[in-house]
Amino acid sequence: MDLATTNLIDFDVAGLNQLMSELGESSYRTTQLIKWIHQLGIVNFDEMTNLSKVFRQRLAVETEIRFPEIVSHQESADGTIKWLVRVDSGNCVETVFIPENDRGTLCVSSQIGCPLDCRFCATATQGFNRNLNIGEIIGQVWLAARHLGQTPKRVRRITNVVMMGMGEPLLNFDNVVGAMRLMMDDNAYNLARKRVTLSTAGHVPGIDKLRQTCPVSLAVSLHAPNDTLRDVLVPINRKHPLESLMDACRRYADANPQDQITFEYVMLKGVNDAPSLAKDLVRLLHRIPAKVNLIPFNAFDGTEYECSSRDDIDNFRNQLVRSGIVTITRKTRGDDIDAACGQLVGKVQAKSARRRAQTDLEKTL
């Protein structure tokens, strides 16, 4: 390994253990470094006082601690904060913090753009450039924690992390899982498993792999209760149709019987909000411990869709509730700064690069 360019935040616990071994150091150095970097926010080796002076000097020569850079931040009237985060010279992603009375939720991106082309999502209009590495994912959490003044001695500001930002997390599986394990590590961000949520548009092999390796809370971007409509709204459905997706969700639920799976359903006027579709949704979710989040559609420039009326949303929700499905209508947060669900766009490199990368990634779908 070329240590001259080694960035310590690019490693999860296993990777950092391996690096320490290559440096001839004991594995307890991993715990020390993770505490300094992620729990305490220290990036200057000289301040890591429980490391020997010789080891600190070696780290300073052979490695670095370099995080993504906040280019700008905007704060909504409702307190939501959106950061534009530069991850390389040509690309930025967006990260959103949503404060509530009893929690603070950080929405983290996993890819630069997104290859899935969901028609109601602004991120899809940006195309796709590449996956984020572990450091670029966990770096969003580090930056937000520092910006919010979070330290071990202060009240925790970030109580939940949702992998619901730009990108399809299960198409960047290893890096996302590595970052989530750091989020849950006692020596880093110490989040409980139930407080880390991964949202997928329905990549079935990824759901099964997640169940076996890192069973965090699962959310599924559903948006339609039949294949005909979902093929249009969520094109990954053509590869992984609803029958296989629901089977994967049942397997996930069976392995984690204490959990509910959250199904996200954006409300599109005259498209997916009919009472008959609510009945279809009830049938679809049969035998799955489900919670449904109805999401009022958040408009963006160039979209062909409109948000369902409040009455139609309420009627849809009431049908689900009467059938025994826990259902809430998600409160729209941060829409005045384009930070609401489906509005994240970031800054993605030239279209030619996006098209090449998207073609390569589609082979894995």
Whether residues 24 and 43 fall in one domain:
yes
Whether residues 248 and 101 fall in one domain:
yes
Whether residues 290 and 330 fall in one domain:
yes
The domain boundary, picked from 48, 64, 80, lies at: 64
Whether residues 60 and 73 fall in one domain:
no
Whether residues 264 and 356 fall in one domain:
yes
Whether residues 204 and 353 fall in one domain:
yes
The domain boundary, picked from 46, 64, 82, lies at: 64
Whether residues 143 and 53 fall in one domain:
no
Whether residues 129 and 186 fall in one domain:
yes
| CATH value at residue 216 | 3.20.20.70
Distance CA 120, CA 44 (A): 44
| CATH value at residue 16 | 1.10.150.530
Whether residues 58 and 135 fall in one domain:
no
Range from 231-240, 242-251, 297-306 carrying the lowest mean pLDDT? 297-306
Whether residues 108 and 227 fall in one domain:
yes
Mind listing the pLDDT tens digit for each residue in 65-120? 999 999 998 888 888 999 999 999 889 999 999 999 889 999 999 999 888 888 88
Range of the structural domain that residue 11 is part of: 3-64
pTM of the predicted protein model = 0.90
Strand pairing of 217-221 and 261-267?
parallel
Residue 338 Cα distances to 166, 167, 259, 265, angstroms: 13, 17, 31, 19
Tally of domains within the chain: 2
Whether residues 33 and 73 fall in one domain:
no
Residue 104 Cα distances to 39, 76, 93, 159, angstroms: 17, 15, 20, 5
Which residues carry out catalysis? 94, 341
Mind listing the pLDDT tens digit for each residue in 276-314? 999 999 999 999 999 999 999 988 888 899 999 999 999
Distance CA 19, CA 25 (A): 9
Whether residues 93 and 14 fall in one domain:
no
CB 63 within 8 A of CB 16: no
Report the SS3 class of residue 132.
coil
